[in-house]
Amino acid sequence: MAFENYTIKDIAKALNLSTSTVSRALRDSYEISAETKKLVLAYAEKINYRANPIARSLKERKSYSIGIIVSEIANNFFSQVIDGIESVAYAKNYQVVISQTHESSERERLNVEHLYSRSTDGLLMALSAETIDSSYLEELMKKGFPIVFFDRVPGQIKSHKVIADNRQGGFEAVQYLAKKGRRKIAHLTGAKKLSITAERLEGYKMALLANGLDFSPALVKYCEYGGLHQAEIEKAVAELAEEDYDAIFISGDKLTTGYLQAMKDRPEADVNSILIAGFTNSKVVNIFSPTITAIRQPAFEMGKKAAELLIQQIESKYAVDEFETIVLPTTLIERE
Amino acid sequence: MAFENYTIKDIAKALNLSTSTVSRALRDSYEISAETKKLVLAYAEKINYRANPIARSLKERKSYSIGIIVSEIANNFFSQVIDGIESVAYAKNYQVVISQTHESSERERLNVEHLYSRSTDGLLMALSAETIDSSYLEELMKKGFPIVFFDRVPGQIKSHKVIADNRQGGFEAVQYLAKKGRRKIAHLTGAKKLSITAERLEGYKMALLANGLDFSPALVKYCEYGGLHQAEIEKAVAELAEEDYDAIFISGDKLTTGYLQAMKDRPEADVNSILIAGFTNSKVVNIFSPTITAIRQPAFEMGKKAAELLIQQIESKYAVDEFETIVLPTTLIERE
DNA sequence: ATGAAAGCGCTAACAA
DNA sequence: TTGTTAGCGCTTTCAT
């Protein structure tokens, strides 16, 4: 029977051993004779013994589970990151607990608290668009609770961080548009305070400069909820329509698809006159219309890397105080 | 300080009470005087006491967490279902643990076992495409472990089930194509043995019949991994190209986008001559090209309903033996 | 090499 | 109404 609920006690009784001996044998302790080990292992195997992880957690103050906090699961980029995280968690026998903020900093805080008190061993998170104050996270980390940030990372906090080279991505996107002869390149982006927003904006500016184009603040539109609400995007698109632009660089998954959707309501001539490059990890960009050039983040890799750093930190004997910031390259996928 | 690790003992000591009194006060037991309760609650509040859920789980044999098993998170339909599940779990104070099978029945079994032994209180699952033998799930359920199935449900097993009206969805899709004057309607679908495959096929056949069209097995193509691998779809599309069809009904999220992608490599004339209707929960169908008609499942609702049934079963005093099968309507979203 | 016993934080039967 | 005590399943110190 695959799923009986035997305990260490049952094994001990059956084999006439003490629970401690069984426990040690199971954990392959050096103090136990080869013979006894074999006996215990064999019997455990036979009855299909499964250690109760709850009991173990209580005793060891470790749950072999890690929390993930993202704004939305239903997002190409995040779901791919989660896949990456899962792949290493699975390999290292960690359970993964996912929760969503829906870009609300309050939900974020509740989730953090929940995951922390549920004794996850650490957290992987991308900040919500709303989050300004992340000092409570710092407090947690000071208490020895490991948190690794990815994608949207807090500026000051000392921790491992895994991000895409957003500056490069922005630069290449805009460079691409400029090389195609566009002179009035707009920028549609997310929450002003997010790290990714600033970085991509920098890339945008650098590319403008590199191509002798002026930076015009009127061509940059922010969506504080990163396109979570289509209305934000509609508004931005309407405002941009006043500006007579001939290309646009878009700074996020939802924003990119949201922009395309918003353009469905505009005269076709307008749409066709605008060249589009945007961050997106959609696997189906090639069936989008109008056609766009995609800047893809190595989402799976980011998840993997972040999870590795976290688990490494969790399992480290001493407090970690040397933190890494890993920057992974983006890829531009041209389509025309 | 938001995140101290106080225990019930600390409160007891500070207030000169016993731990049991504190425990009872915290849980608002009738045996405790209003005064004492107030005292305890106030102090707990003050020091920001958080019960240790691990300890509680161990004692109560209940973890206030539920497992979700789906084939892929990065799938519009499933991520929306998960959102629905999460919304009720959150409201009822359950944690949610997600895992993916990637359509492998072996992964599925490992996940089930893992979630079961990790003491989740119950499971919400959609079967993997590969799964044939679900008898081990029956064993588990017999032992009192609640499982609610959604979307891809096992035939014989006695349990709560939540599904979309796949027959209706298939019927309406094909009805729609027929009304547009199409006579040779193909069908691209998933794993033969899945419930959803059979049900949608039935709807397809019914609509053919209703419109005086012959059923031709050569026009039906199965993808055993539901389009997880694009190669399956390419193959099916190549085979279909031999058949000279003028419309197609597609039976799944991945299959629908995969089909569109595959068609990118075919002559434009071909593509334009084929009318497409497909199951998809993508929120961006309106920017797909070619244009398609979408059959949408009430994913969020399904998740909600399934979670409600599960939690109800978990919290039920007596063994549940009356099981419901909830069938929710699909919606056809025309685009042309 | 093995066992006895304590304890992780909490709940609950039983006593007072 | 409150306290004492045992115990959930496991690990681990300290004896033996």
In this structure, what DSSP letter does residue A288 have?
B
What is the distance between the alpha carbons of residues A196 and A113, in angstroms, rounded to a whole number? 25
CA distance A116 to chain B (A): 8
Question: How many Å separate Cα A330 from the centre of its chain?
Answer: 15
More confident residue, A305 or B270: A305
Which contiguous run of DSSP H or E holds residue B116? helix B105-117
Write out pLDDT tens, residues B231-264. Answer: 999 999 999 999 989 999 999 999 999 999 999 9
Write out pLDDT tens, residues B274-305. Answer: 999 999 999 999 999 999 999 999 999 999 99
| Integer CA distances (angstroms), B79 to A72, B44, B161, in order | 9, 38, 18
Q: Is the CB of A28 under 7 A from strand C?
A: no
Tracing tokens 């895992």 back to the chain, one arrives at B99
Q: Is the CB of B117 under 7 A from strand D?
A: no
Tracing tokens 């490992």 back to the chain, one arrives at B110
Closest CA to B124 of B145, B110, B93: B145
Q: Is the CB of A182 under 7 A from strand D?
A: no
**Which positions ≥6 away from A91 have C-beta within 8 Å?**
none
The average pLDDT across B7-30 equals 92
Encoded tokens for A185: 């390149």
Q: What is the mean pLDDT of chain A?
A: 92
Nucleotide nearest to B56 (CA to C1'): C10
Q: Is the CB of B52 under 7 A from strand D?
A: no
Encoded tokens for B34: 């209003």
What is the distance between the alpha carbons of residues A284 and A76, in angstroms, rounded to a whole number? 10
Closest in B50, B79, B98 to A74, CB measured: B79
pTM over 0.85: yes
Nucleotide nearest to B18 (CA to C1'): D3
Question: In this structure, which amino acid lies at residue B187?
Answer: H
Q: Is the pLDDT of residue B4 over 60?
A: no
Write out pLDDT tens, residues B189-236. Answer: 999 999 999 999 999 999 999 999 999 999 999 999 988 899 999 999
> CA-nearest residue of chain B to A116?
B3
Q: Are B298 and B329 in contact (CB under 8 A)?
A: yes
Which contiguous run of DSSP H or E holds residue A295? strand A293-296
Closest CA to B249 of B327, B210, B197, B212: B197
Kindly list the domain boundaries of chain A, sorted by start residue. Answer: 8-50, 62-164+299-330, 166-296
- One fold for both A62-164+299-330 and A166-296? yes
Number of CB pairs < 8 Å for A and B? Answer: 128
Domain A166-296's class?
alpha beta
What pLDDT score does B336 carry?
55
Closest CA to A65 of A325, A242, A311, A329: A311
Q: What percent of chain A has pLDDT over 70?
A: 99
Look at A3 and B143 and tell me if their CB atoms are within 8 Å.
yes
Q: Which nucleotides of chain C are near protein (any atom < 7 Å from a CB)?
A: 1-13
Look at B63 and A54 and tell me if their CB atoms are within 8 Å.
yes
What is the distance between the alpha carbons of residues A99 and A125, in angstroms, rounded to a whole number? 10
Q: How confident is the model at residue B318 (pLDDT cuts 50, 70, 90)?
A: confident
Residues of B in contact with A283 (CB under 8 A): 74, 257
What pLDDT score does A3 carry?
44
The average pLDDT across A18-36 equals 92
Tracing tokens 């690794």 back to the chain, one arrives at A148
Look at B118 and A95 and tell me if their CB atoms are within 8 Å.
yes
- Interface test with chain B among A78, A98, A138, A139, by most B beta carbons within 10 Å: A98
Q: Which nucleotides of chain D are near protein (any atom < 7 Å from a CB)?
A: 1-13
What is the distance between the alpha carbons of residues B126 and B109, in angstroms, rounded to a whole number? 12
Residues of B in contact with A50 (CB under 8 A): 113, 117
Tracing tokens 């031709």 back to the chain, one arrives at B216
What is the distance between the alpha carbons of residues B188 and B72, in angstroms, rounded to a whole number? 20
Question: How many Å separate Cα A129 from the centre of its chain?
Answer: 13
Nucleotide nearest to A22 (CA to C1'): C2
Look at A140 and B3 and tell me if their CB atoms are within 8 Å.
yes
Look at B54 and A119 and tell me if their CB atoms are within 8 Å.
yes
Q: Is the CB of A316 under 7 A from strand D?
A: no
Q: Is the CB of B36 under 7 A from strand D?
A: yes
What pLDDT score does B1 carry?
28
> CA-nearest residue of chain A to B258?
A284
Closest in B58, B114, B136 to A2, CB measured: B136
Q: Is the pLDDT of residue B156 over 90?
A: no
What sign for the dihedral angle of Cα A311, A312, A317, A319? negative
Closest in A53, A136, A284 to B257, CB measured: A284
- D5 C1' to A50 CA distance, Å: 29
What pLDDT score does A223 carry?
96
CATH of domain A62-164+299-330: 3.40.50.2300
Q: Is the CB of B9 under 7 A from strand C?
A: yes
> CA-nearest residue of chain A to B290?
A287
Within 10 A of B124 (CB to CB), how many other CB atoms are there? 29
**B148 - beta bridge partners?**
B124
Q: Are B292 and B72 in contact (CB under 8 A)?
A: no
CA distance B230 to chain A (A): 11
> Contacts from A242-246 at CB under 8 Å and sequence distance 24+?
A243/A184, A243/A186, A243/A218, A243/A219, A244/A184, A245/A184, A245/A185, A245/A186, A245/A219, A245/A274, A246/A182, A246/A183, A246/A184, A246/A185, A246/A273, A246/A274, A246/A275
Q: How confident is the model at residue A315 (pLDDT cuts 50, 70, 90)?
A: confident
In this structure, what DSSP letter does residue A285 have?
G
